[in-house]
Structure 1
Amino acid sequence: MAIVKSKLLKQLSNNYPNFLKKDLEKFTDIILNEIKRTLKKGDRVELRGFGVFYTNIQRARISRNPKTGEKVNTPEKKTIHFKMSKDLFKKLNNEE
């Protein structure tokens, strides 16, 4: 099951009852917006102990519509990739 922003905020407010919910929401918005802004610039985002987000440029190409078989021009676009840290990998696979 995926975690959505509202559940994350609820969990943060339960773990840190001294902070106001609106402050926690502002804090998470700032962090997520900084990650977006950095990736949009083409830089990588490294969160120690969690992983690295980085962008790749997918070249323009001629692809095919699978339903009709018609050729379609696909423009160049950026894609986001994530590589988890060794620490996170070990925790997920119960290796310590």
Structure 2
Amino acid sequence: MAIVKSELIKELKKSFPNFLIQDLNKVTEIILKEIKDTLRRNEGVELRNFGTFRSNIQKASIRRNPKTGQKVSVPQKKTIKWKMSKDLFKKLNNEKE
């Protein structure tokens, strides 16, 4: 199951009942905007004990349409790579530190 932004805000509200939902929503929007802007500038984002996000440029290439077999030109595009931290890896795999 994936978590959507509204569910994230509900969980934050449970953890921080003194904050208004509007404030939690605004903080979440600011954090996500900063991550997007940083990746757009080709810089990395590191969230301690979670992982790192890096933008990557995928070169233009010629590929094949699997349905028709026809060659298709794919332009250069940006992608995002994510690498989990060692701490998160250990928690997901129930390893002791």
TM range (shorter): over 0.9
Partner of 2:74: 74
Distance 2:61 2:85 in 1: 32
SS in 2 for 1:17: coil
Q: Which letter maps to 2:33?
A: N
Partner of 2:23: 23
SS in 1 for 2:94: coil
Is 1:54 the counterpart of 2:48 in the alignment? no
Partner of 2:3: 3
Deviation at 1:56, TM superposition (A): 1.0
Distance 2:46 2:16 in 1: 25
Q: Which runs of 4 or more aligned residues in structure 1 lie more than 6 Å from their structure 2 counterparts after TM superposition?
A: none
Distance 2:68 2:88 in 1: 43
SS in 2 for 1:35: helix
**CA RMSD across the alignment:** 0.6
Q: Which letter maps to 1:62?
A: I
Q: What TM-score does the superposition give when structure 1 sets the normalisation length? A: 0.97
Deviation at 1:69, TM superposition (A): 0.9
Alignment: residue pair count: 96
